[in-house]
Amino acid sequence: MKIFLLGLITLVGSTCYSQNEDRDKSELYKKYREDQFYISVTYNLLNNKPEDVNQNGFSSGFHFGFIRDMPINERRNKAFGLGLGLSTNSYNQNVSILETNGDFVYEVINGSEINVSKNKFTTYLVEVPLEYRWRTSTATDYNFWRIYSGFKFGYLFYNSSKFKSDIGNERLSNIDAFNKLQYGLTLSVGYGTWNFHMYYGLNPIFDDSAKLEGNSIDLSSFKIGLIFYIL
């Protein structure tokens, strides 16, 4: 009789524990979201360069922000992501931006005529990424494959340019010719911590008021690098 009661108590206890475990796991899956915070480091290239325009040195970008993960299926491995972040991007190249009589002048620098030690412009943006997210993760598996594709809007709130040469130096900021709205396609692919990241700009960095030898400067941004997801 004692053995029977002991077995009954053990069976009831294990059943209750199993039910509680299943309930806890169910609640965990209901609340499961992925990849909320991100940090990205990129190498910045310029597309649509005129014939005499080229890049020199290392042009870098640093990006960080928060993306709200919104799963759309029961397994929660497919989701939309909408976020907010900050981005700073430098571009070392041979187009000087100088101010003459209140006007901005854009010229291609001839390295054989002028010794230039630094020539770059930098952009600072508030960004809104929108992504479609696919991954092989679960609520308890932290190493998984991911493919996140999307679109990113950026609002330019500050810009600057630096020019240093043997004929003089000039530093400018808030140049009106930069496009305030910049946008492009994004792709993040990887496994675990290490993920490849790409941004392909769809509109020019400068507006039509920026002219190089009478033609619009249609430079756009192409960024490649790594992105790290924190939570």
Q: Is the same domain home to 24 and 61?
A: no
Task: Calculate ∠ Cα 123-47-228, nearest 5°.
Answer: 60
Total domains in the fold of the chain: 2
Q: Is the same domain home to 157 and 220?
A: yes
Q: Is the same domain home to 177 and 202?
A: yes
Q: Residue 160 burial (CB < 10 Å; 0-12/13-18/19+)? A: middle
pLDDT classification of 212: cutoffs 50, 70, 90: confident
Regarding beta strands 220-229 and 37-47, do their DSSP bridges make them parallel or antiparallel, or are they unpaired?
antiparallel
Domain range holding 72? 34-229
Among the listed residues 158, 98, 149, 155, the one whose alpha carbon sits nearest the alpha carbon of residue 122:
158
Q: What is the largest CA-CA distance in the chain?
A: 104
- What separation in angstroms does the CA of 182 have from each of 9, 154, 156, 206? 67, 5, 7, 10
Q: Is the same domain home to 110 and 15?
A: no
Q: Is the same domain home to 113 and 205?
A: yes
Predicted confidence (pLDDT) per residue in 46-98, tens digit: 999 988 889 988 999 999 999 999 999 988 899 999 999 999 999 999 888 88
Which residues have C-beta within 8 Å of that of residue 145, sequence separation ≥ 6? 135, 136, 190, 191
Q: Is the same domain home to 10 and 65?
A: no
| Whole-number Å distance between alpha carbons of 35 and 190 | 13
CATH of residue 193's domain is: 2.40.160
What is the pTM assigned to this prediction?
A: 0.84
Q: Is the pLDDT of residue 7 over 90?
A: no
Which residues have C-beta within 8 Å of that of residue 48, sequence separation ≥ 6? 204, 218, 219, 220
20, amino acid identity: N
3-state class (DSSP) for residue 28: helix
Q: Is the same domain home to 6 and 119?
A: no
Predicted confidence (pLDDT) per residue in 12-57, tens digit: 344 444 444 444 445 555 677 887 899 999 999 999 998 888 998 8
Predicted confidence (pLDDT) per residue in 155-182, tens digit: 999 999 998 888 778 899 999 999 999 9
The pLDDT of residue 22 is 43
Q: Is the pLDDT of residue 137 over 80?
A: yes
Output DSSP code: residue 73: S
3-state class (DSSP) for residue 3: helix
Q: Is the same domain home to 144 and 119?
A: yes
Rounded to a whole number of angstroms, the CA Rg of the chain reads: 26
Among the listed residues 39, 28, 108, the one whose alpha carbon sits nearest the alpha carbon of residue 75:
28
